[in-house]
Structure 1
Amino acid sequence: MADTTHSPDRPAPRILHLTERALWQEAQAGGTYEVSTRGRTLGDVGFIHCSLPHQLPGVAALLYADEPGRDDLVVLTIDTALLDVPVRYEPPVPGAEPFPHIYGPLPVTAVVSVQPWPLR
């Protein structure tokens, strides 16, 4: 059985980010994506919130539960090998499971796929 544990010493090769389609389209036009999470930017927070695949449903519920049925959300799959900024795994609160955070702008070239959310 493959080891799927990810940590600062063993980062995931691909991480995910949930966003609005329009924000992703703006990033494509500009070359970099700089939204941290719903309503917050990289400049506000200092990093871009990301998830591992098993964490994404909980993130979606936390961020968008107040708007069920949205059809404009997309999942960005990010190849961490294509980033030139650090990715750090940090827990949202002490003792919680760490989430990947990108400490700098996300180049659109590091996004290897874009899928609608919920995944079909």
Structure 2
Amino acid sequence: MATIYHITTQAEWDAASRSGIYEAASLKEEGFIHCSQEEQIPGVLQRYFKGKTNLVKLVIDTDKLTSRWLYEWSPSTADTFPHIYGPINATAVVAVEQVI
């Protein structure tokens, strides 16, 4: 099992857990949901979520995902990140952790 992570708000996750499906805005805008490896989380929080509150980290078991995912190169950070090409089924989220 590979584990990947996605940062979102508690409100967005609450809505997704009720519906069973999570779709970030990037899925519609870019065609995939941005995720991270654990060691990339601090940088992601600094770059994209600075000053935001009520955030959670979704812990995703890739073996349980129903959407295709893969690692892709990000030239802006010179690193490889996991991207999910479709919605995240709630059953693939094995934990939800508060971001402090």
Map 1:1-120; keep pairs closer than 5 Å: 13-35=2-24, 40-65=25-50, 67=51, 70=53, 72-93=54-75, 96-118=78-100
The runs of at least 4 aligned residues of structure 1 exceeding 2 Å deviation read none
Aligned length: 100
Say which SS state the counterpart of residue 84 (structure 1) adopts: coil
TM-score (norm 2): 0.92
Larger of the two Rg values belongs to structure: 1
RMSD: 1.7
TM-score (norm 1): 0.77
Specify which structure has the higher proportion of helix.
2
Name the % identity.
42
Determine the C-alpha separation between the residues in 2 that align with 1:17 and 1:95.
17
Q: Give unpaired runs (5+ residues) of structure 1.
A: 1-11
Specify which structure has the higher proportion of strand.
2
The alpha carbon displacement at 1:30 in A equals: 1.2
